[in-house]
Amino acid sequence: MPSANILILYTGGTIGMGHEIAGDSSSPLIPQGWEFLQSAMPALSANGFFTKENGISFTYKSFDNVIDSSEFNPGHWRQILDILSENYDSFNGFIVIHGTDTMAYTASALSFALQNLGKPVVLTGSQLPIFHPRTDAISNLSNAIHIAAAKVFNLPIIPEVVICFNDKLLRGNRATKSSSKDFSGFESPSYPALGSLEQSIKINDEYILKIPTGPFSIKSHFETNIIIMTLFPGFNPDILSLLANDHSLKGVILRTFGSGNAPSSEAFINAIQLLVEKGKTILNISQCQEGFVNMKTYKTGNNLYKCGVISGADMTLEAATVKMMWLLANEELKDVSLVIGGNLRGEISEN
């Protein structure tokens, strides 16, 4: 019988939440320890389905202090990356149990930081805690195991950071949280799903990245001195001019209209030019969930292009944010402007 070694890392999130006061359903939900989570899913035990019937060996690790994912920061990303790096050679696949609020940010961060990833890193969680009678946690975790232990189930190995949620398999840096109430919590608006996990599992091989040939490594630093600015009718460009004189600021993500359009007023264009002159990296992404930035289509977008603003194409907000943070921390500034608009991990469609 085929076998696989799988590492499951528990960071916290709704999936492992329990009431602060046991037995009091009116008390707030707080993260519980790994034992709480494991006790609710007997299939993970040594005598459970996956080990007894499929020969899968599980190793469990947990953050010392599990957290709500809204508390996540780059330090937590580094914790995950260190664990993946230390254990990379010993396991066939990895599962990161994570809260949903910032899961797409973490998935994007891991996708850029993991160099030459040749094994599946699967993020999953749930919209309802695992103790809830209608929880989606058990099916999500079961599906994640099928992807992480692909060879056991005669599935192709997916050498990517992915999100496995509500019977969908999504590229991590293409996913965005779309709902806080539906079981279908994530969507991939500009790229097809990598697979579906219904009664039968279908993997869309043509959309999966190739297994790399280079050596695995990590680059785990992230620059946090960036800002996201969302344009709106009446936006005051003086705010941008003030930001240009902030010496700590390294980058600006500009959420523009439609296909990358922005006001063409002299005050706005001057503010953008000042930001560029002060050495700030400016990335243009659309406010539309399904939007592809092409600054050459309309004059209002072309003005930004002439100023030196870089197109973010169809990157999600999460991918664009983390990509900028990662590049600014790991590349020379002159190189960031050359690389940030290009496709590194399948986060951008060729247009």
Residue with tokens 């063409």: 264
Tell me what the mean pLDDT of segment 40-54 comes to: 81
Name the average pLDDT for the chain. Answer: 93
According to the model, what pLDDT value does residue 42 have? 79
C-alpha span between 294 and 289 (Å, rounded): 15
Question: Which CATH superfamily includes the segment(s) 4-218?
Answer: L-asparaginase, N-terminal domain (3.40.50.1170)
Q: Alpha helix (H) ranges present in the chain?
A: 34-39, 74-87, 103-113, 137-148, 238-244, 266-277, 299-307, 317-330, 333-339
Is residue 165 within 8 A of residue 138, CB to CB? The reply is no
Instruction: Give span(s): CATH 3.40.50.1170, the chain.
Output: 4-218
Nearest-10 crossing angle of helices 103-113, 74-87: 50
Nearest partner of 261 among 221, 297, 225, judged by Cα: 297
Residues in Cβ contact with 190 at an 8 Å cutoff, skipping those fewer than 6 apart? 174, 290, 292, 314, 316, 349
- Topology adopted by domain 226-339: Rossmann fold (3.40.50)
Q: Alpha helix (H) ranges present in 245-316?
A: 266-277, 299-307
Confidence of residue 351 (pLDDT cuts 50, 70, 90): low
Coil, helix or strand for 335? helix
53 CB burial (10 A radius; 0-12, 13-18, 19+): exposed
Instruction: Give span(s): CATH 3.40.50.40, the chain.
Output: 226-339
Q: Which residues are catalytic?
A: 14
Confidence of residue 53 (pLDDT cuts 50, 70, 90): confident
pLDDT in tens, 243-286: 999 999 999 999 999 999 999 999 999 999 999 999 999 999 99
According to the model, what pLDDT value does residue 262 have? 94
